[in-house]
A and B are shown apart, each in its own frame.
Chain A
């Protein structure tokens, strides 16, 4: 366990290397919009992390902005997962449905979410509902495509077996189709998780709190360390989300493959 932890930390050796290189370059350059990390990091501490240790050092500003952002992001992601998997599997299993909705999907996928903001505002009016639906719309595509692909490529032998054992539709879906599409669905979910952070920022440009809001405000008051601070925080969050997701995925898929071997 400890050795595992040490190797995991050692894998991050590139982080200090990059930080030192970044520091050297920006110090020599001395551009007001490209401050060195030694300016950005204290700025981030003052902005978000000078609270008491009992609250993980988070201060009032962090507590006012992080939870709403993360809440919207996760809700949007879960929503896109549910919609993407349901619709994706349906499309994957029904060529007729696929023919009906394929142009709409390809069309929708190419629309820049920023330009659709007024539409989301019109349908969902205020605040969190609008932001969540916009995040979900922007990130549903990878899940949808992967689920459709997974649904299409179910082993025919398994389906045949299910028919022989007279499994009901619901049982077939839950015990045969869904498990076989699961690895692909996970790949889609992972892609959409990092997209969710991006969409969260866009959705929060027009709000009164959250990380995206703080980023926009830093840009508006010409505060380069503040902008960089938000960028770094987004990167770190993305890294952590991905890490947690990969660990969870490994567990679920391991359990799932062993379960399949048992049956």
Chain B
């Protein structure tokens, strides 16, 4: 019944593309009119052309692969550390109370400050990357896990306990599944932070390949700003794609989650 253009506006793809195009036009205009001097920052079209060139450069593609691998490994280790720790803190409040000052102290310390110090003890560049990713991106996962545990239905827990289940099985059968959506959100937030950290660590620590190393190389050239921004463009695309994947995965997991709880009732 609806008119065609109206239906087009219902599609996230059409609207999203339109939004991006409008933004690019505004950015291009800002450069051409002189609001953003091109000496300092390249035109949007210059960036896109450079980014397209990079996409055809095998060494840059290898850099993207390195960054992606480092990111995935770092995120995996983050989850493996932060979720169990969050479960521990969430289920044993005295430990949480004791550690909270430490957590609040450590959280705002930037990894920019830690890399030059950590460099003296961590030998391997991959290990360095993973350490920095874990340090910066574990907090959302940790905090969401703790908060999620507080939200667990006490009746369900009590029911299982009266059936003679131990605390560990209560944790695994009730608490963990019902905390899962919270953890998933935490992981999605952590994924974005982890990507930034992967590139920053490659940039600041050097020697590990990846998009950060590309930026170090770019600084050797007077055209460095354009190259850096073009590389950053692909960093943004990587973020867009990985976030999309997480949203899809979450949606599927939740469907399974709701279906399962529905069946159990």
Contact = CB atoms under 8 A, between A and B. Distances in A.
Interface stretch (A156-164, A167-175, A231-239): A231-239
B120 A31 contact: yes
A221 to B, nearest CB: 12
Nearest to A103: B16
Contacts of B25: none
Interface string A202-240: 100100000000010001000010011011001111110
Contacts of A237: 108
Chain B's interface: helix, strand, loop or mixed, by majority? helix
A11 B95 CA distance: 11
Interface in A14-50: 14-15, 18, 31, 33-34
A92 B116 CA distance: 41
Contact of A104 (B12, B19, B113): B19
A227 B105 CA distance: 16
Contacts, number: 162
A102 B48 CA distance: 20
B105 A238 contact: yes
Range of interface residues on A (Cβ < 8 Å)? 35 or more
Contacts of A234: 108-110, 113
A14 B236 contact: no
B122 interface: no
B64 interface: no
Contact of A101 (B19, B104, B108, B237): B19
A241 B242 CA distance: 32
Given A99-B16, A122-B37, A34 B120 contact: yes
B229 A118 contact: yes
Interface in B18-33: 18-20, 23
A123 interface: yes
Contacts of A114: 200, 203
B40 interface: yes
A-B pairs, top 3 by smallest CB distance, nearest first, are: A110-B239, A238-B108, A122-B40
Interface of A: 11-15, 18, 31, 33-34, 96, 99-104, 106-116, 118-119, 121-123, 141-142, 191, 194-195, 197-198, 201-202, 205, 215, 219, 224, 227-228, 230-231, 234-239, 241-243
